[in-house]
């Protein structure tokens, strides 16, 4: 980053923030959201759930440990959640110009520039997060570099999975349990969590007709956008619900499973963003801290009577997951595979694998 370039963040309500620029020298438009994590900015920036979004970090220092080297393990990036930066832009308070870490590959600015993503700093990001919180957790916005203006863009109107899902079938591992994983924009840590549990993973595109395949368990990944856009997967799920094969849905996967079961979804007044969302496991009365990034949530009122609420959010009492009363189907709105954390709920992968074991015996 040779010169300090002046740029601007413009929100849809007309608010303008003058800032310093780093990363790619290009303007960008999208949905401005926030994240409260203290570490793990490389994981968040490569999370496909942020596709079409301009991400604001509330933690004041970003870039201090640079970007790790892109190692691969089992065809998976060891430190990233996908193969590229997924966000449309980055907003931070203070950019650390002298990063240091034993595993540093390059600095954050050069990495963003490599992926064509602009960033802004010298902005009060906590004020922006407070403003966004009052507007449903997000607002449309744009990063304007050197008067290169562009229109606002609403990613919720698009099928973003077409941009972030795999376009072919991919096999991972050689484990005992055959798991079909529908990729709506999955985080790599879902793959890691399943591989650690003796699984062979068949990763398929978002619109793949999985009703014709044989497998031990079905996983519906996280992903970006409005769940009601995904009409094909919902139809396939309605067929799958007539069988007994275990199903585990995560984030968007939870919403799609709920829609297939007769429920509805709506956009939250206060979206769930951050690494500190408390949820309650209703059956046992246990509280867990979770990572979340979603503006839509499942309304279970019209859901079939064979289902019940699995988790609920302790901030607003919204549904955070559903579970079938006797079939091995369940889903959660939060991220049990969260990377860089918290990982309090990774045990849900064990519940899924145990349901496969019970079905096979």
Average pLDDT over residues 175-181: 98
pLDDT of res. 4? 61
Average pLDDT over residues 147-169: 92
CA distances from 183 to 71, 85, 140, 218 (A): 22, 17, 26, 11
**How much of the chain exceeds pLDDT 70, in percent?**
99
> CA-to-CA distance for 177 and 197, rounded, in angstroms?
9
Q: Are 35 and 276 in contact (CB under 8 A)?
A: no
Average pLDDT over residues 106-132: 95
The answer on pLDDT for 119 being more than 60 is yes
CATH of span 161-360: 3.40.50.880
Q: What is the DSSP string of 144-186?
A: EETT-------GGGS-THHHHS-SS-EEE---SEEEEEE-SS-
31-45, 100-114, 306-320: the lowest-pLDDT one: 31-45
pLDDT of res. 339? 78
Q: Are 297 and 331 in contact (CB under 8 A)?
A: no
pLDDT of res. 5? 67
Q: Are 198 and 231 in contact (CB under 8 A)?
A: no
Q: What is the distance between the terminal CA atoms of the chain, rounded to a whole angstrom?
A: 60
Which residues are tagged catalytic?
251
> CA-to-CA distance for 253 and 7, rounded, in angstroms?
37
CA distances from 277 to 25, 47, 113, 207 (A): 35, 18, 32, 30
**How much of the chain exceeds pLDDT 90, in percent?**
79
Higher-pLDDT residue of 342, 354: 354
Q: What is the mean pLDDT of the chain?
A: 93
Q: Taking the CB of residue 197, how many other CB atoms lie within 10 A of it? A: 18
37-41, 44-48, 56-60: the lowest-pLDDT one: 37-41
Domain spans of the chain, in order of start: 5-156, 161-360
**CATH class, 5-156 region:** alpha beta
The answer on pLDDT for 274 being more than 90 is no
Average pLDDT over residues 319-325: 97
The answer on pLDDT for 3 being more than 80 is no
The answer on pLDDT for 40 being more than 90 is no
Structure tokens at 146: 């050197």
> CA-to-CA distance for 155 and 265, rounded, in angstroms?
17
pLDDT of res. 253? 97
The answer on pLDDT for 2 being more than 70 is no
Band (pLDDT 50/70/90 cuts) for residue 273 is confident
pTM (2 decimals)? 0.93
Average pLDDT over residues 8-35: 95
The answer on pLDDT for 1 being more than 50 is no
Q: Kindly tell me the burial class for residue 117, based on how many C-beta atoms sit within 10 Å of its own C-beta (0-12, 13-18, 19 or more).
A: buried
Q: Kindly tell me the burial class for residue 283, based on how many C-beta atoms sit within 10 Å of its own C-beta (0-12, 13-18, 19 or more).
A: exposed
pLDDT of res. 341? 73
Band (pLDDT 50/70/90 cuts) for residue 72 is confident
> CA-to-CA distance for 55 and 286, rounded, in angstroms?
31
Average pLDDT over residues 21-38: 93
Average pLDDT over residues 73-87: 91
Q: What is the DSSP string of 310-322?
A: EEEETTT--EEEE
């Amino acid at each position: 980053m040779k010169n300090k370039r002046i740029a601007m963040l413009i929100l849809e309500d007309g608010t303008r923030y003058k800032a310093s620029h780093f990363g790619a020298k290009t303007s960008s438009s999208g949905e401005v959201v926030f994240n409260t994590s203290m570490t793990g900015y490389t994981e968040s920036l490569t999370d496909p759930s942020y596709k079409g979004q301009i991400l604001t970090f509330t933690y004041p220092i970003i870039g201090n440990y640079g970007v790790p080297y892109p190692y691969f393990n089992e065809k998976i990036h060891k430190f990233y959640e996908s193969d590229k930066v997924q966000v449309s832009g980055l907003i931070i308070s203070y950019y650390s110009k002298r990063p240091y870490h034993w595993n540093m590959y390059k600095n954050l600015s050069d990495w963003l520039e490599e992926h064509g993503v602009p960033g802004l700093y010298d902005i009060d990001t906590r004020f922006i997060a407070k403003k966004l919180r009052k507007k449903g957790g997000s607002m449309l916005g744009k990063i304007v570099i050197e008067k290169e203006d562009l229109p606002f863009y609403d990613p919720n109107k698009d099928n973003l999975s077409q941009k972030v899902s795999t376009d072919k079938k991919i096999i991972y591992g050689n484990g005992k349990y055959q798991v079909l994983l529908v990729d709506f924009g999955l985080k790599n840590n879902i793959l890691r969590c399943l591989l650690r549990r003796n699984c062979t993973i068949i990763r398929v595109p978002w619109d793949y007709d999985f009703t014709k395949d044989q497998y031990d368990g079905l996983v519906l990944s996280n992903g970006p956008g409005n769940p009601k856009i995904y009409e094909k997967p919902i139809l396939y799920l309605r067929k799958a619900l007539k069988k007994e094969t275990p199903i585990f849905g995560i984030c968007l996967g939870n919403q799609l499973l709920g829609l297939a079961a007769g429920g509805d979804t709506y956009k939250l007044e206060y979206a769930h963003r951050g690494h500190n969302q408390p949820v309650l496991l209703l059956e046992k009365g246990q509280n867990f801290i979770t990572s979340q990034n979603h503006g839509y949530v499942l309304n279970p009122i019209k859901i079939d009577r064979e289902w019940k609420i699995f988790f609920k959010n302790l901030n607003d009492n919204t549904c955070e997951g559903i579970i079938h009363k006797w079939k091995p189907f369940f889903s959660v709105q939060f991220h049990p595979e969260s990377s860089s954390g918290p990982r309090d709920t990774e045990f849900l992968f064990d519940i899924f694998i145990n349901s496969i074991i019970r079905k096979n015996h």
